[in-house]
Amino acid sequence: MAYRTPLETRLAKKTTKAIVDFNLIEDGDRVMVGLSGGKDSWALIQILDVLRQRAPITFSIVAVNIDSGYENYQHQQLTDACAARGWEFHRQPTTIGAVLDDKLDVGVTPCSLCARLRRGVLYRWATKVGATKIALGHHLDDFVETLLLNLFFAGALKAMPARLVSDNQAHIVIRPLVYVTEAEARGYARENDLPVIGCCCPACGDLGLQRQRVKRLIMELEREHPSVKASMLKAIGNVMPRHLLDRRLNPGRDLQDLVATELEPLGPVPDDVQLIPLLTSRPPA
Ligand code: SF4
C-alpha cells in the first residue's frame, strides 16, 4: 500500500528507521501515545497508525491525554478527533497547572517540574491500559535543543534517549520521531487536518525561556549551515569518550600500560624505586 503524500513517505521512512535503530516497537506491543494535542503528538499518533496498518508486526495504539487543568484547554477537540479516526482515547484531568503556580517562584522555568508530574501520571495510565511502551512526540529539534541546553546551562553533555527504561524498570518510554524535524511534524499534522490545540500554559511560547533562545540560535546557524541540526544529531550518536574530560569514562592510564610504554624502554626498574610517584611526576621543564 503506497503512502498518501511525499511528506507521509518521508515521515514513515524516518520513523521506521528510528524504530529499527533503537528497537522501539516489537511484535505484540501496546503503544500508549502521550497526546497533548500539540502538533508533535498528533504527528506521532498519525504516523504510528499508518505504520501499524502496514507493519509486518502486530501492535496496537492507545492515546492518553494528561490535562493540566488550564481554563480554555480545548480537550473536547481531542476526544472528537480520536473518535473520528477510531483511535482509543483517554483523558486524565489533573491539577498540575495549579501545582506549578503554587510551587514555583516567579522567574523559575516550570517545564522540568511539569514534565516530571505529567510523566508520573502517564506511568500510572500505562499500567492501567496495559501499555508496554509509552510513546512521546519529541522530534529531532527537541533532541538537539536539549543537547545545547544541557551544554550551555546545566554543565552536562547529554540530550535524551530514544528509548528509556524507567528507574523501577516497569515502563519503557520511546521517542519514534527522533529523526523527524519539527517542521515535518507541523506539516504532517496540518496535512492530516488534526486539530492542534495550545496547552494554555502561561509558560508556553515564552520567548524568554532558555529553550526559545537556543531554538533561535540554531535557526540562525542553520541559515549559514543548513546541515547543522543533522550534524548535532549525528554527534549525539557518535560519542568519543576519550576526547572528553569525564574521569568516570577515562579513569587514567592503567599502571601496566604506563610501565610498558614509559619505563621499560629505559631499562630495569630498581627494586627500591616507588613506581606511582615516578609515573605521575611531571618531567622537568
Ligand atoms: S510550556 Fe507549560 S505545559 Fe509545556 S512543559 Fe512547560 S510548563 Fe509544561
pLDDT on residue 46: 98
pLDDT on residue 273: 53
Residue 255 CA to ligand 1 center (angstroms) comes to 50
- Report the pocket of ligand 1 as residue ranges, CB < 6 Å: 110-111, 114-115, 199, 201, 203-204
pLDDT on residue 77: 96
DSSP state of 211: H
- Strand order across the 60-67 sheet: 88-93, 60-67, 30-34, 133-135, 172-174, 163-165
Number of other CB atoms surrounding residue 268 within 10 Å: 7
Q: Which atom of ligand 1 is nearest to the CA of 204?
A: 1
pLDDT on residue 250: 79
**DSSP 3-state of 254:** coil
> Atom 3 of ligand 1 has which residue's CA nearest to it?
201
Chain mean position to CA 139: 7
Local confidence pLDDT in tens for the 285 residues of the chain:
789 999 999 999 999 999 999 999 999 999 999 999 999 999 999 999 999 999 999 999 999 999 999 988 999 999 999 999 999 999 999 999 999 888 767 667 788 889 999 999 999 999 999 999 999 999 999 999 999 999 999 999 999 999 999 999 999 999 999 999 999 999 999 999 999 999 888 877 675 678 889 999 999 999 999 999 999 999 999 999 999 999 998 776 565 666 666 666 666 655 555 555 544 444 444
Number of other CB atoms surrounding residue 157 within 10 Å: 14
pTM (two decimals): 0.87
Q: Which atom of ligand 1 is nearest to the CA of 201?
A: 2
**Helix axes 210-224 and 140-149, enclosed angle (nearest 10):** 110
Residue 278 CA to ligand 1 center (angstroms) comes to 56
Best residue among 36, 109, 199 to mutate for probing ligand 1, ranked by most atoms within 8 Å of CB:
199
Domain extents in the chain: 6-204, 253-285
Contact 29, 59 (CB under 8 A): yes
Best residue among 75, 95, 106, 201 to mutate for probing ligand 1, ranked by most atoms within 8 Å of CB:
201
Please choose, from the candidates 70, 216, 66, the residue with its C-alpha nearest in 3D space to the C-alpha of residue 149. 216
Residue 252 CA to ligand 1 center (angstroms) comes to 42
> Atom 7 of ligand 1 has which residue's CA nearest to it?
111
Pairing mode of beta strands 163-165, 172-174: antiparallel
Select the CATH number that applies to the domain covering 6-204 from these four: 3.20.20.70, 3.90.180.10, 3.40.50.620, 3.40.1350.10.
3.40.50.620
Residue 271 CA to ligand 1 center (angstroms) comes to 66
> Atom 6 of ligand 1 has which residue's CA nearest to it?
111
